[in-house]
Amino acid sequence: MMAAMRPVIIAANWKMNTTPADAGELAATIAGRIREPAVVRVICPPFVCLAAVGAALADEEIGVGAQDVHHEVAGAYTGDTSAAMLQGLASWVIIGHSERRRDHGETDERISGKLRRAVEAGLRPILCVGEVLDDREAGRAVAVVDGQLHGALAGHLPADLQAAGLVIAYEPVWAIGTGRNASGADAAAMAEAVRSSIAAIGWGAAAADVPVLYGGSVTAANIGEFLAEPSIDGALVGGASLKPDEIAGIVARAGLTANARLVETAAT
C-alpha cells in the first residue's frame, strides 16, 4: 500500500499527568482545537482518567486509549489493569512504551502477551519499538528494532493483527527528553526497516499497510519534518499533547498530510 492509502494518526500520550478532576476539561478544550476529520485522533490519559476523558469526548470523533494493559486475562496482579477492564473505557491501547520497558523491565515476551490480550479484547494496539543511544551509535538500531518486532509479533497470526489495526510507533529513546533530535530521514529509514521486518515475519506485502508513527519529543515546530516523509504516518505525542496550542498545531499539520493523501488516493 502506498502512503496515500494509510491513515494519518496523532495519538496523545498524557503519561502520568492530569487527574479525574481536570482531565475531562483538558480533553474538551483540546477536542475543540483538533477538529480535523481527515486525521485519526486519539487521547491516552492515565487509567484513572479514562472515564472522565471518555465522557468529555462522547460527542467527538476522537478515540480514547489506555497507556498499558496486562499480559494476563485476570489474576493476582495487584495494581494492574486487564484488557477486560478497559472495555467500554478505551478502544486503543499503547503497548511496549520505552518507559514501560525501562522502568518496569518489560520484555518482548511480555509485550507479546499484552498484544494478544489487546487483540482478544478488540483494542487497537499501538506497539512501540525503538533503540537507546548506545545502540544507535554502535550501528545496531535496525537490528534492535527488528528484534523487538520479532519478539512481540512472532506467534501472532498476521490476519489477527491486521484485523485489529496494528500501529507501530517508532521511539528513538535517545531523542526523548534529551535535547537530541532524530531527523525526518532517520525516522523514515526506520519506518521502512520496520515494514521490512514485519514483511519478513510473515506479513509479506501486507506489511506496507501498517501505519508507522514517530514518537520522539514531537512538537508543533518539528512535526512537519516527519510528516514530510511518505513512510511516516503520524506521531505518538508526549508532553506536547498536554498543551492545547501545541497539539492543535500538530494536528493541523497532520491534516495537511492527511488531506493530500486523500487527494492522491482519489486521483489513482
Residues with a catalytic annotation lie at: 97, 171
Q: How far apart are CA 76 and CA 58, in angstroms?
A: 33
Tell me the C-alpha to C-alpha distance, in Å, between residue 130 and each of 60, 149, 170.
Answer: 32, 10, 6
Residues 17/37, Cβ–Cβ less than 8 Å: no
99: CB partners within 8 A, 6+ apart: 15
DSSP helix/strand/coil, 14: coil
Q: How far apart are CA 238 and CA 248, in angstroms?
A: 14
Closest CA to 232 of 220, 215, 252, 214: 214
Q: Are strands 8-13 and 39-44 parallel, antiparallel or unpaired?
A: parallel
Tell me the C-alpha to C-alpha distance, in Å, between residue 183 and each of 108, 145, 162, 243.
Answer: 26, 17, 29, 23
Residue 263 buriedness (CB in 10 A; 0-12 / 13-18 / 19+): exposed
Roughly what angle, to the nearest 10 degrees, separates helices 108-120 and 141-153? Answer: 50
Residues 232/214, Cβ–Cβ less than 8 Å: yes
